[in-house]
Amino acid sequence: MAMSMALRRLSSTSNTSIRPLFNGGSFYPMYSVSSQAAVEKDRSRVNWIKQLNEPLEAVDPEIADIIELEKARQWKGLELIPSENFTSVSVMQAVGSVMTNKYSEGYPGARYYGGNEYIDMAELLCQKRALEAFRLDPTKWGVNVQSLSGSPANFQAYTALLKPHERIMALDLPHGGHLSHGYQTDTKKISAVSIFFETMPYRLDESTGYIDYDQLEKSAALFRPKLIVAGASAYARLYDYARIRKVCDKQKAIMLADMAHISGLVAAGVIPSPFEYADIVTTTTHKSLRGPRGAMIFYRKGVKEINKQGKEVSFGLSYL
């Protein structure tokens, strides 16, 4: 919900002199004015492009009908897919706003195109709220809020941190893992992650239904991964983040926690948080956070340790 709330608050705190421009169904005024009377005067002189200001049902009734059918399907059925979302009207208003018109390649204050001052405001506010939602210190954590969904967010993290064909360990897909963690079969590399990187799964102890941490540690000692993923899409138990942190420390591996399916519970404080142990944390925004479709990459900042020479060693993750 962080992304949606960022845009919603930005809208509510905008200069009131421009708000009348968007009343009465018109989204494309010619220029800014300072009063409602001036707006009406300008409207009388302007031939608005009809299609830009007509509702969807008037412009494309076929698509409008399909959307209504989907709305009815969602409200009349009982949704049993845990990762599906029921977002709010305010979120849909935010993602359907004039923000969609703007190219915003780059980061706040460093865009490729001009005219991004309000995009920057929204993105910075979104980052601030994302950190607040998980009770994170902004001097110790940063967050990238630009990812389109969870799988690209994970792949972006891997490619930022690893070289091609470096090694990743993650929970096996048939044991509750996710495709974006590098799943492959004995005969075929299924995901792009398994093509670009060498991957090895860890699994459950099938007699208990819990992750076999002892075997994970043994496998890591042999495989020597550069990164270990702590996260799942269909694992009904809590992760022992402290145990995986110890394995990562032994192998000098990066710990990435993928909390996409449980981030709402983490934000609410009802299950353990991975932030105490992980170097990188990824999550979607459209599952239990109830926001628009998207994802976030949290990363540690600042000093990681003091080396033997007495020099500070940073986490070096800020380029995410």
Summarize the confidence of residues 258-268 as an average pLDDT. 95
- For residue 109, is it within any domain? no
Q: Are residues 192 and 84 in the same domain?
A: no
What number of CA atoms fall less than 13 Å from residue 24's CA on the CB side? 10
C-alpha triplet 43, 47, 53: angle, nearest 5°: 80
Q: What is the mean pLDDT of residues 114-125?
A: 96
Q: What percent of the chain is predicted at pLDDT more than 90?
A: 64
Q: What is the mean pLDDT of residues 58-64?
A: 94
Q: What is the pLDDT of residue 273?
A: 97
pLDDT score for 194: 87
Q: What pLDDT is attached to residue 193?
A: 87
Task: Single out the residue in 46, 78, 101 at which a domain terminates.
Answer: 101
Name the pLDDT band for 242 (thresholds 50, 70, 90). Answer: very high
Asked if 145 and 280 sit in the same domain, the reply is yes
CATH number at residue 233: 3.40.640.10
67 and 193 part of one domain: no
The arithmetic mean of pLDDT across residues 58-69, rounded, is 95
In a domain, 304, yes or no: yes
SS3 (DSSP) at 218: helix
Query: pLDDT at position 177, please?
Result: 83
Taking all residues of the chain, what is their mean pLDDT, rounded to a whole number? 85
Q: What pLDDT band is residue 41 in, cutting at 50, 70 and 90?
A: low
Do 92 and 145 share a domain, yes or no?
Answer: no
178 and 262 inside one domain: yes
| pLDDT, average across residues 232-259 | 95
pLDDT digits (tens, 9 = 90+) for 184-196: 778 888 888 888 9
pLDDT of residue 9: 47
Is 274 within a domain? yes
pLDDT of residue 43: 60
Q: Are residues 96 and 153 in the same domain?
A: no
**Cα–Cα nearest to 243, from 283, 267, 211:** 211
Domain boundary residue among 60, 78, 101? 101
> How many structural domains are present in the chain?
2
Q: Is the pLDDT of residue 316 over 50?
A: yes
CA distance 232 to 229: 9
Q: What was the pLDDT predicted at 47?
A: 61
Q: Which residues are designated catalytic?
A: 103, 105, 258, 284, 287, 293
Structure tokens at 317: 């993750």
> Which residues have CB under 8 Å from 64's CB, separation 6+?
56, 57
For residues 151 and 90, state if they share a domain.
no
Question: What pLDDT shows up at residue 83?
Answer: 87
Same domain, 183 and 72: no
pLDDT in tens, 1-35: 445 454 454 444 444 444 443 344 455 554 444 55
Per-residue pLDDT tens over the stretch 273-286: 999 999 999 999 99
30 vs 15, 44, 75, CA distance in Å? Answer: 17, 12, 39
Residue 117 forms part of a structural domain: no
Residue 54 within a domain: yes
- Are 92 and 202 part of one and the same domain? no
Higher pLDDT, 10 or 70: 70
Residue 207 tokens, joined:
């007699």
Mean pLDDT of 144-166: 95
Same domain, 244 and 303: yes
For residue 10, the model assigns a pLDDT of: 41
Based on the domain organization, do 294 and 220 belong to the same domain? yes
56, part of any domain: yes
The CA–CA distances, whole Å, from 74 to 14, 21, 82, 93, 297 equal 33, 34, 14, 18, 29
Report pLDDT digits (tens) over 161-213.
Answer: 999 999 999 998 888 888 888 777 788 888 888 889 999 999 999 999 999 99
Could you tell me if residue 112 is inside a domain?
no
In which domain, by residue range, is 217 found? 134-314
Report if residue 224 sits inside a domain.
Answer: yes
Residues 296 and 248 in one domain: yes
CA angle 138, 142, 147 (to 5 degrees): 145
Last residue of a domain, one of 43, 77, 101: 101
pLDDT tier at 292 (50, 70, 90 boundaries)? very high
CA atoms within 13 Å, Cβ hemisphere of 88:
14
